[in-house]
Amino acid sequence: MAIINTATKLTFATLALGLFALGLTVSPASAQDADADSTVGSRFTLGGFGSLGVSRSSNDKAEYLRDVGQPKGMGHSWRTQNDSLLGVQADWQVTDQLKAVVQGVSHYRVDGSFSPELTWAFAAYEFSPRFTLRAGRLGTEFLIDADSRMVGYSYLPVRPPMDIYGVLPIKYGDGIDGKLTMPIDDGVLRADLFSGVARERLINYDVDKARVLKGSLSYSQGDWKAHYLYAQIKLNHNIGVLAPLHDLLMQFGAVSAAQALELNGTVSRYQSLGVSYDDGTWQVQGMLTQIEMESKLLQDQRAGYVQVARRIGAVNPFVAYSRVKSTPEPIVTNLPNLMFYPINAGVAMAMNSMHLDRKTLSLGARWDFYRNMDLKLQVDSVRDAQDSLMMLNAVKPGWKGHTEIVSLLFDFVF
């Protein structure tokens, strides 16, 4: 059953556009004199953030990827790559209304390097205290209570649940967005709408220049927050490593099976509905998500997670549980298995590589031991179905789908 039906999607889009239009007309910013503009123009700040982590899996038969943008995962030996990064951000308040932001991050990339990457580079204009328009390279985050997965200090666990966010590696895009904040009753409504193109590469796939549309609505009141997000991406490439298999299928007349391997021109749609509670002592967060694919190769997914934490002085122990399952659509070649076994096996392997059927129970704690610094310890007990190969790397014979992952992380901001 879909989380949000089509009528709700249309209502969401209409409401978001209407709110943006309203934001242009309410609470106009007052004009500033020339001296004030000169003072504001000198405001420049430089800051940054970083994480240094180590992780290890108890099973030597497979590696667990933090997300599908990393070439190697957490394996049987201690590794520092997957959760470690360093970012620097510069903010220039040009005038009271105009701001420029540039951010660069060095993190574990698809080519196995830590080459710095330009993640944000935008100009923001505040038409009113309630409405801001931004253009350039912008963050396209999917979290409830944090602006970026790259800033580990901004959220509780070592990493956001891999079962949910591992298949959502797109962290930024080039385009334009609008952000509206509006008080309603005793709470605050926030809305944003982004349109642009993706600029990242994944393992064996390139989403560069794929069209992206993303919007969200959230409402905060007291200790509670509810958040809905819709996003879609129109893919513009096929998977290169599947090209030989695609050509063989076409050559032997299995046209429909070959077309099922094509991604170019297909649309993937994502929706999430989340709720969080934080009274300063107890922190509870839950989310349901669904992904719907027009491609047969990429499988529809349903997922959810819940996280509960209790603050005890400077320490936040927590427990979390996540579940994800994709639904494969059979790709039938109609080629006799006796003669065409390698081709049929190749199609089956391609399908398994896109299948995800996993449960994860996580226990951990965060210790804010010093100003703007924390230490996190987390243990993940992961249970995969044997044919669930998405988010895995270097799978070896004897893989049973069970492992425990131990992670230690140091986060800081400056």
* Residue 298 to residues 268, 273, 406, Cα–Cα distance (Å): 9, 22, 30
Q: How far is 393 from 383, CA to CA, in rounded Å?
A: 16
Round to whole Å and give the CA distance between 310 and 373: 19
Per-residue pLDDT at 20 exceeds 60: no
Asked if pLDDT for residue 22 goes beyond 70, the answer is no
Q: Give the residue, 330 or 105, on which the prediction is more confident.
A: 105
Could you read off the pLDDT of 233-272 as tens digits, one per residue? 999 999 999 999 999 999 999 999 999 999 999 999 999 9
Residue 13 has pLDDT above 80, yes or no: no
Using the predicted structure, report yes or no on whether residue 289 has a pLDDT greater than 90.
yes
Question: Mean pLDDT for the chain?
Answer: 90
What are the residue boundaries of the structural domains of the chain, listed by start? 6-26+44-413
The correct answer on CATH 2.30.30.240 for the domain covering 6-26+44-413 is no
Band (168; pLDDT cuts 50, 70, 90): confident
pLDDT, average across residues 371-395:
95
CA 343 to chain centre: 34
**What is the spatial distance between Cα 211 and Cα 71, in angstroms, rounded to a whole number?**
24
Kindly tell me if the per-residue pLDDT of 70 is higher than 70.
yes
Which percentage of the chain shows pLDDT scores above 70? Answer: 90
Q: Which among 154, 147, 274 has a CA at the least distance from the CA of 220?
A: 274
pLDDT at residue 31 greater than cutoff 80: no
Give CA 266 to chain center in angstroms.
20
Confidence of residue 131 (pLDDT cuts 50, 70, 90): very high
pLDDT digits (tens, 9 = 90+) for 308-353: 999 999 999 999 999 999 999 989 999 999 899 999 999 999 999 9
Q: With bands split at pLDDT 50, 70 and 90, how would you rate the model's confidence at 18? A: very low
pLDDT-derived band at 206 (thresholds 50, 70, 90) equals: confident
Tell me what the mean pLDDT of segment 149-174 comes to. Answer: 93
**Alpha-carbon distance 320 to 194, whole Å?**
30
* Mean pLDDT for the stretch of residues 152-161: 96
pLDDT given for residue 14 in this prediction? 39
Is 80 exceeded by the pLDDT of residue 19? no
Confidence tier at 42 by pLDDT (50, 70, 90): low
Average pLDDT over residues 388-400: 92
Give the residue among 131, 133, 130, 152 at the shortest CA–CA distance from 143.
152
H or E element at residue 244 = helix 243-251
